[in-house]
Structure 1
C-alpha cells in the first residue's frame, strides 16, 4: 500500500499520449495467493505527437512482469 501523498497534476501539464491503444484483451487467472493477468494490447504511435518513437513505459504497483512480446517476438530486458 502506498503511504506518500498523491502528487497534484494540473490540466496545463497534460499532453497527448505518445501511443494510442486500439484494443485491449485481458484474461485473469485467480488463485488463493496470487492472480495472473494476461494482457494483449493493440497499440500504435500517436501521429499527433510527431516523429520519433519514445520508449514505452509500463507503470504499475506491486506487479511482476513475467513476459513481454512485440509482434510475437519475446522482448529482453535490454529491449
Structure 2
C-alpha cells in the first residue's frame, strides 16, 4: 500500500493531494516527506504514514489555505 492511496480517518476515506520524497540533507538522518492534504482531518497525516508501516518523528504544518507560516516560526 502507498501513502497516495489514502486511508480511513474518522470513517472517511482520506487521500492526500500529493506526496513527495524530499531531497536528503546531510544534517538530517531520516527521510523527509512533503504530504499535502486538502481538509486536514484530525491526525490525517499521522494515519496516512502509519497505514504504510512508517513512523512520524516530526510533523510541521507550513501552510493553511493561502497563508504560509514564516519558516522561523516556533524556533
Return the TM-score normalized by structure 2: 0.40
More helix by share: 2
Please say which structure displays the higher CA radius of gyration.
Answer: 1
More strand by share: 1
Return the TM-score normalized by structure 1: 0.38
